[in-house]
C-alpha cells in the first residue's frame, strides 16, 4: 500500500494570519473523519494554497510558554493560573508566528514503510501527503500506519 491509500483527505486548513484563539476554535470543530470532530493538528496554507506550515497542540503549548522559560530551569517557580494567564496574553498571536515551518511531507506514491521510517526518525504524529503539483491532498496519521500493521498481522491474507 502507498500513502494515498491510507491517508485521510484534507477537509480543513488554517491560513497564516489566523489568530491563536481562532485556531483553537477551528481545531475544536474540525472534522477528523466522517464521524469524529476535533483534531490535534492542522495544516497551514498560504494565499496560493501551498503548504506553509503545520500547527499541532505542541506548537500551541510552545507559543504560550514565555520565551525566557527556555533559557533557564524555571519550571519550579511557576504559579497556579500562570498557564491560563499566558494563554490569554498571546491569544492574538498569528499562526505564522507559532506554526512549525519545516514540515516533513511525503509524495502520494511513497510506500508505507517510507512513512513509518519518517514517523520514527522525526517523532511525527502526522505527515501531509502531496500530489504531483505539490498541493496537499491528505494526511497520513500514525494510527493509520499502525492499522496497516494490525491488518498485516491479524488478517491472514494481509488484505
In the complex, which residues of this chain contact another protein (CB under 8 A)? Answer: 66-69, 71-74, 76-79, 82, 86
Nearer to another protein, 91 or 137 (CB): 91
**Alpha helix (H) ranges present in the chain?**
3-6, 20-29, 57-64, 82-89, 95-98, 112-122, 142-154
> Which one, 92 or 134, has the nearer CB to another protein?
92
CB 28 within 8 A of CB 113: no
Measured from the CB atom, the residue of 76 and 157 that comes closer to another protein is: 76
Residue 89 or 122: the one with the smaller Cβ distance to another protein is 89
Minimum distance, C-beta of residue 77 to another protein, in the bound complex (Å): 5
8 A C-beta contact, residue 106 and residue 121: no
Residue 25 C-beta: closest distance to another protein, Å: 23
Residue with cell 510552545: 62
Shortest reach from residue 123's CB to another protein, in Å: 23
Question: C-beta of 46: minimal distance to another protein in Å?
Answer: 24
- Rounded to a whole number of angstroms, the minimum distance from the CB of residue 70 to another protein is 9
CB nearer to another protein: pick between 77 and 132: 77
Helices (H) and strands (E) in the chain, counts: 7, 7
Q: Which residues contact 51 (CB under 8 A, 6 or more apart)?
A: 43, 44, 45, 103, 105, 128, 130, 134, 135, 136
Amino acid at each position: 500500500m502507498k500513502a494515498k491509500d491510507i491517508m485521510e483527505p484534507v477537509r480543513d486548513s488554517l491560513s497564516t494570519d489566523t489568530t491563536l484563539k481562532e485556531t483553537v476554535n477551528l481545531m475544536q470543530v474540525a472534522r477528523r473523519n466522517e464521524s469524529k470532530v476535533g483534531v490535534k493538528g492542522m495544516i497551514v496554507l498560504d494565499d496560493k494554497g501551498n503548504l506553509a506550515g503545520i500547527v499541532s497542540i505542541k506548537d500551541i503549548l510552545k507559543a504560550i510558554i514565555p520565551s525566557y522559560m527556555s533559557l533557564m530551569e524555571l519550571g519550579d517557580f511557576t504559579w497556579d493560573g500562570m498557564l491560563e494567564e499566558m494563554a490569554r496574553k498571546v491569544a492574538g498571536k498569528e499562526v505564522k508566528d507559532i506554526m512549525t515551518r519545516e514540515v516533513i511531507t511525503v509524495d502520494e506514491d511513497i510506500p508505507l514503510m517510507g512513512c513509518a521510517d519518517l514517523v520514527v526518525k522525526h517523532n511525527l504524529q502526522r505527515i501531509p501527503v502531496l500530489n504531483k503539483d505539490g498541493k496537499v491532498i491528505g494526511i497520513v496519521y500514525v494510527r493509520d500506519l499502525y492499522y496497516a500493521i494490525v491488518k498485516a498481522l491479524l488478517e491472514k491474507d494481509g488484505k
